[in-house]
Amino acid sequence: MDYAVNLVGRILLAGFGKIAAYAATQGYMAAMGVPGALLPLVILLEVGGGLALIAGVQTRIAASLLAVFSIVAAVIFHRHFADQMQSIMFMKNLAMAGGLLLLAAHGAGAPSWDHRKSKAS
């Protein structure tokens, strides 16, 4: 459970951090060849996906989207392995993707909205 809380917390903090440093994040994205205009979608995915995981709403879909996003972000933004910090960030993204894929495969479990909804059907 602690791992799941840590995972979701990282996702939410990343999304809120991008809101707080919007212009800087857009600039970083542009410097890496990613259009800064995609930032609202990134924030929506990170914050919306994180909240969906917390609530257990559409958990498998949210986790799948966030896993793919984490892998893509690792490849685009953290591929400079000569920089040790970038290597660490790359591996962090892959580890998060692994945890998210577990959620995608197994669902959120009994305390989730998804589980309650399936019981009512």
**Using an 8 Å Cβ cutoff, are 104 and 60 in contact?**
yes
Give the DSSP per-residue string, 4-68.
Answer: HHHHHHHHHHHHHHHHHTHHHHHHHHHHTT--GGGHHHHHIIIIIHHHHHHHTSSHHHHHHHHHH
Provide CB contacts within 8 A for 98, sequence distance 6+: 67
Please determine, for residue 24, whether its predicted confidence score (pLDDT) is greater than 60: yes
Please determine, for residue 1, whether its predicted confidence score (pLDDT) is greater than 60: no
- Look at residue 115 in the predicted model and tell me its pLDDT: 76
Q: What confidence category does residue 16 fall into, taking pLDDT thresholds of 50, 70 and 90?
A: confident
Domain ranges of the chain: 2-105
- Look at residue 110 in the predicted model and tell me its pLDDT: 77
Mean pLDDT, residues 26-35 taken together = 96
Interatomic CA distance for residues 19 and 28, integer angstroms: 14
The whole-model pTM stands at 0.86
Interatomic CA distance for residues 102 and 94, integer angstroms: 13
Residue bearing tokens 């929506």: 44
